[in-house]
Each structure stands twice: as structure tokens, then as C-alpha cells.
């Protein structure tokens, strides 16, 4: 059993006892409500959260935005009006292929102290911890300086149109929020060494498809006008390209914080700027999917569409790519480079608007300091560092309005656990979940004091 120790030495075994016990049961029930998006169907999940808040005597508003799609807003009224603080979560999840999992992905089954299920990490656990911490704050009779809003939205996994985008259009006060806390960072356990990632920015989404047309025909008589060969040649040029490593101040601060004095094959890390000049360090970074994604644009093929029959040369073919750009990379320059690499035989077609240009939140703020203090209270003096989320989250909507928005959930995970997110056998340990609840409550107590 893990015992968290308060700075004054008081053991936390009795702390948030009631909520700790509820957290696991609520999360399991929440996972069982299948909110796979598409199509989403988040309404039942919203009703579930609504009932939980209702039991705590907290008034809520449900926003029905489309059939079976809904968002939930609850509030603890603060001393002064306007500029609320928002605890944000999304209730939809990405699809899960049941036959690839050890347990049915929507069962919420517990094995060896872990709750399994789609959304266990991303982000039904955080939605439950935010809800319980929020309810506890109300029960403790804390009157926050500002309104604190609990906002659970649909549709994050496919872009947020019905969720955060809808809420920002229709609820004026959300656009004047003073701070938003949601997903994107956690406490990482690397071989027993812990550090906290507080996400203050994310990479830019820049997906695209390359398409080629050619002459169809019989596979027994190949010719030079093959659509498949054209896209394959173009794709090969795109995936072979080595995007340069680039420092951003967030990633420099982050890696300087966690790699100090790290010794690897052929390098001793002193600082990022120096280290990137070392060939062996660059190859160490290339081999680490996290560091690699933090330091360069990434482009990876995800959907291949060509022929349907093994003896038929198709007349059309395409490959789609997921690309994530560093915050400093412009979309236009990136697409020009992709077009150049792809060559004249294919057409490069952006997917979606391709215009997401999320802003970065500062990290020299009272919010960052408050979270750092909460983490120290929770587990002791570990490095608490700004982080760049490699995926996209709904926080970009708030950052684009100039609202400081951080992604952080104080659970401790190894990178192995983290990679299960969006993958198979996603799970969270009950110990981590309890820590997430206590940590969220510590952060919330601080947020309640922000004027
Ligand atoms: Zn998520």
C-alpha cells in the first residue's frame, strides 16, 4: 500500500477516503457506457455524470447539441463574478477492437489492481477525479474566489465541433475564463525516477493525402503508368525525409530538466543545445518516440488505399498521412516541402482545414506555481516541467482565445502504460486513480484561492 505523506507528516490514509472508494466504482461504470466516437453517443454518459453531481446537490446544465450528443456544465459559485476557472474533460473515446484486447474494452474489468477499459486513461479517469474533487470542494464548504466550472464535453476525439467548439459559441462566460485545466500531461515514472509534465502547448495537426491516377490493367502486363507505383514512390520520398531537430523553449526546458547528466552511448547530456550537436545523441533521440516527436515534425502513413484484386492494376491509389508539426513550423512551408518531396506524379490534398495553429500558454504563471506546489505536496520535490503535447486536445480552443490552459492529471504512469492510450489494453491502476483524485483535489484547493 502506498501512503502519501503530507508536508506536516500527517498520513493520508484517511484523506478523501469516501471519494477514493467511489472513484474506482464510478470509473468502471463510466467505462461501461460506450462513447466510441464516431458516433459518440455521449448523452447517456452525460446523464450518468449529471446523476453523480445531483446526488452531491450540485446544480447542472445539460446541453443537448444533437441527437444523443450532449455536454454538461456544473458550477461552484465563487466570491466574484466572471472569469471562471474551468475543469475540462471529454467523455468520448476512440474505437477499440475487442478481439485485440485481453478483456472486453467496455467492461471496466479489474485485474491485478488495474481497471481496464477504453477511456481508462484518455480521459474518463480524469473526468471522474475532477468530478469527485469538485464535489468534495463543495462539501467542504469552500467558497472559491471565482466560479469554478466543471465542464464535460462530447466529440473531442474527432475535433470538438459538438463539444468545446459548441460550448464556446453558446456560453459567453466560457470565452472569458481565467484558466482551464484538462488532459495532456501526467507524472512520468522512468525507472523509478519521477517528473511531472504540465502541458502548456501542443503540436499542430497537419494531415494530408497523396493521390495518383494512372492506367488500370491486368497485373500480368505491368506498364509505367501505375497509380500504385506513383504513390509508393512519393510516399517513400516523404517517409525517408529526415525532418531537422528544432528546439522550442518549452521542450528545451523540459529535456534540460529531465536529462541533466544523463549518460548514453557516446554522450553525456549537459544541455539540449550542445547535445543536439552530438551525432550519437541525435540517434538516441531518433530511437525514442517521445523525444523524437518533441523535437521535430513527424509524418507517418496511416491509410493505404489501392487496388481490390491481386491481379488488377488499379487506376487510382492514395496514401494518407498523419503529420504533427512543431509549434514554430508554418503549415504553408510544411506543405510546400511535402509537395516538393512528393513530386509531380501525385496530388497532395490536405485533410480538414489544415489550419489549426494553436497558441502556447505561458508557464511563468501563478497557475504553474500552484500546480508545482500541489505536486510537491502530493509526492515530494520532483521536477515539474512545462511540456508539449504531441497530440491535439480541446485545450487549443481556449489557448486560441488567449486563455491560459494546461493539460495535467496528477497520476503516475510509465511510458509503457501511456502507450496503451488509443491502443490496446488501456488501463489505470487503482492506486494511480486514487493519487489522481488526491492530486486533483490539491490543485483545485489552490485554484479556489486564485483571485
Ligand atoms: Zn483525450
Residue 10 falls inside a structural domain: no
pTM over 0.95: no
* Residue 445 CA to ligand 1 centre (angstroms): 24
* Residue 275 CA to ligand 1 centre (angstroms): 32
Tell me the Cα Rg of the chain: 23
Is the domain of 184 the same as that of 219?
no
* Residue 188 CA to ligand 1 centre (angstroms): 17
Residue 6 falls inside a structural domain: no
What letters, b where the CB count within 10 A reaches 16 and e where it falls short, cover 210-229?
A: bbbbbeeeeeeeeeebbbbb
Is the domain of 343 the same as that of 413?
no
Yes or no: say if 411 and 125 are a contact pair by the CB < 8 Å rule: yes
* Residue 277 CA to ligand 1 centre (angstroms): 35
* Residue 113 CA to ligand 1 centre (angstroms): 23
* Residue 436 CA to ligand 1 centre (angstroms): 16
Is the domain of 219 the same as that of 195?
no
Is the domain of 340 the same as that of 327?
yes
Is the domain of 116 the same as that of 227?
no
* Residue 182 CA to ligand 1 centre (angstroms): 9
What letters, b where the CB count within 10 A reaches 16 and e where it falls short, cover 178-189?
A: bbbbbbbbbbbb
Is the domain of 51 the same as that of 184?
yes
Out of 350, 376, 398, pick the residue that ends a domain.
350
SS3 229: helix
Query: What residues have a C-beta under 5 A from ligand 1, the ion?
Result: 122-123, 183
* Residue 145 CA to ligand 1 centre (angstroms): 29
Q: How far apart are CA 232 and CA 306, in angstroms?
A: 10
Yes or no: say if 405 and 392 are a contact pair by the CB < 8 Å rule: no
* Residue 132 CA to ligand 1 centre (angstroms): 19
* Residue 123 CA to ligand 1 centre (angstroms): 5
Q: Of 307, 305, 299, 296, give the one whose Cα is nearest residue 339.
A: 299
* Residue 237 CA to ligand 1 centre (angstroms): 32
Out of 317, 350, 383, pick the residue that ends a domain.
350
* Residue 137 CA to ligand 1 centre (angstroms): 25
Is the domain of 334 the same as that of 401?
no
* Residue 124 CA to ligand 1 centre (angstroms): 9
CATH number, domain containing residue 259:
3.30.70.360
Yes or no: say if 100 and 107 are a contact pair by the CB < 8 Å rule: no
pLDDT along the chain (451 residues), means of 10: 41 65 95 97 97 94 98 96 95 97 97 97 98 95 96 96 98 97 96 96 94 96 96 98 96 95 91 96 95 97 96 97 94 95 97 72 97 96 96 94 97 92 94 96 97 91
Q: Of 152, 157, 176, 156, give the one whose Cα is nearest residue 75.
A: 152
Residue 324 falls inside a structural domain: yes
Q: How far apart are CA 78 and CA 148, in angstroms?
A: 7
Out of 323, 350, 377, pick the residue that ends a domain.
350
Residue 240 falls inside a structural domain: yes
End-to-end CA distance of the chain: 38
Q: Which domain holds residue 47?
A: 17-201+358-447
* Residue 222 CA to ligand 1 centre (angstroms): 46
- Residue 29 CB neighbour total at 10 angstroms: 15
CATH number, domain containing residue 398:
3.40.630.10
| pLDDT on residue 14 | 54
Phi, psi of 363 (to 5 degrees): -125, 5
* Residue 301 CA to ligand 1 centre (angstroms): 22
* Residue 313 CA to ligand 1 centre (angstroms): 40
Matching residue, cell 495535467? 408
* Residue 351 CA to ligand 1 centre (angstroms): 21
* Residue 90 CA to ligand 1 centre (angstroms): 7
| pLDDT on residue 81 | 87
DSSP for 23-39 reads: HHHHHHHHHHS--BTTT
Is the domain of 295 the same as that of 420?
no
Q: Of 247, 271, 324, 250, give the one whose Cα is nearest residue 293.
A: 324
DSSP H helices in 33-147: 43-55, 124-139
- What does the DSSP 8-state code read for residue 174? G
* Residue 258 CA to ligand 1 centre (angstroms): 24
* Residue 87 CA to ligand 1 centre (angstroms): 14
Q: How far apart are CA 361 and CA 226, in angstroms?
A: 48
* Residue 394 CA to ligand 1 centre (angstroms): 8
Yes or no: say if 399 and 361 are a contact pair by the CB < 8 Å rule: yes
* Residue 157 CA to ligand 1 centre (angstroms): 7
* Residue 122 CA to ligand 1 centre (angstroms): 5
Looking at the structure of the chain, the number of domains it has is 2
Amino acid at each position: 500500500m502506498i501512503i502519501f505523506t503530507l508536508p506536516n507528516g500527517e498520513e493520508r490514509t484517511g484523506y478523501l477516503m469516501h471519494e477514493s472508494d467511489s472513484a474506482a466504482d464510478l470509473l468502471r461504470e463510466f467505462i461501461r457506457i460506450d462513447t466510441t466516437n464516431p458516433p459518440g453517443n455521449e448523452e447517456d454518459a452525460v446523464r450518468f455524470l449529471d446523476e453523480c453531481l445531483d446526488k452531491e446537490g450540485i446544480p447542472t446544465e445539460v446541453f443537448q447539441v444533437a441527437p444523443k450528443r450532449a455536454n454538461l456544465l456544473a458550477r461552484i459559485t465563487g466570491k466574484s463574478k466572471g472569469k471562471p476557472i474551468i475543469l475540462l474533460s471529454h467523455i468520448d473515446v476512440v474505437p477499440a477492437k475487442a478481439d485485440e484486447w485481453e478483456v472486453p474494452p467496455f467492461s471496466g474489468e479489474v485485474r491485478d489492481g488495474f481497471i481496464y477499459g477504453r477511456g481508462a486513461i484518455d480521459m474518463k479517469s480524469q473526468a471522474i477525479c475532477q468530478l469527485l474533487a469538485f464535489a468534495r470542494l463543495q462539501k467542504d464548504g469552500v467558497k472559491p474566489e471565482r466560479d469554478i466550472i466543471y465542464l464535460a464535453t462530447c466529440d473531442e476525439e474527432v475535433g470538438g465541433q459538438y463539444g468545446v467548439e459548441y460550448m464556446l459559441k453558446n456560453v459567453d462566460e466560457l470565452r472569458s475564463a481565467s484558466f482551464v485545466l484538462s488532459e495532456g500531461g501526467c507524472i512520468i515514472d522512468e525507472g523509478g525516477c519521477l517528473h511531472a509534465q504540465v502541458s502548456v502547448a501542443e503540436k499542430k495537426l497537419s494531415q494530408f493525402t497523396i493521390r495518383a491516377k494512372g492506367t488500370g490493367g491486368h497485373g500480368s502486363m505491368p506498364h509505367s503508368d501505375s497509380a500504385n507505383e506513383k504513390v509508393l514512390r512519393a510516399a517513400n520520398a516523404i517517409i525517408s525525409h529526415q525532418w531537422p531537430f528544432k528546439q522550442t523553449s518549452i521542450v528545451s526546458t523540459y529535456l534540460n530538466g529531465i536529462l541533466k547528466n544523463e549518460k548514453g552511448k557516446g554522450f553525456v547530456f549537459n544541455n539540449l543545445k550542445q547535445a543536439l550537436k552530438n551525432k550519437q545523441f541525435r540517434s538516441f533521440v531518433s530511437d525514442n518516440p517521445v523525444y523524437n516527436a518533441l523535437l521535430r515534425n513527424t509524418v507517418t502513413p496511416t491509410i493505404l488505399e489501392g487496388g481490390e484484386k491481386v491481379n488488377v492494376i488499379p487506376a487510382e491509389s492514395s496514401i494518407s498521412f498523419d503529420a504533427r508539426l512543431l509549434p514554430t513550423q508554418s503549415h504553408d512551408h510544411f506543405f510546400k516541402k511535402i509537395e516538393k518531396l512528393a513530386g509531380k506524379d501525385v496530388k497532395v490534398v490536405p485533410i480538414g482545414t489544415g489550419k489549426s495553429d494553436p497558441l502556447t500558454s505561458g508557464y511563468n504563471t501563478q497557475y504553474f506555481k500552484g500546480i508545482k506546489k500541489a505536486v510537491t505536496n502530493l509526492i515530494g520535490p520532483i521536477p515539474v516541467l512545462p511540456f508539449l503535447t504531441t497530440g491535439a486536445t480541446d485545450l487549443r480552443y481556449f489557448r486560441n482565445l488567449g486563455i491560459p490552459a494546461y493539460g495535467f492529471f496528477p497520476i503516475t504512469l510509465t511510458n509503457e502504460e501511456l502507450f496503451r492510450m488509443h491502443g490496446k489494453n488501456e488501463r489505470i491502476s487503482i492506486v494511480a486513480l486514487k493519487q489522481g483524485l488526491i492530486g486533483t483535489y490539491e490543485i483545485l484547493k489552490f485554484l479556489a484561492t486564485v483571485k
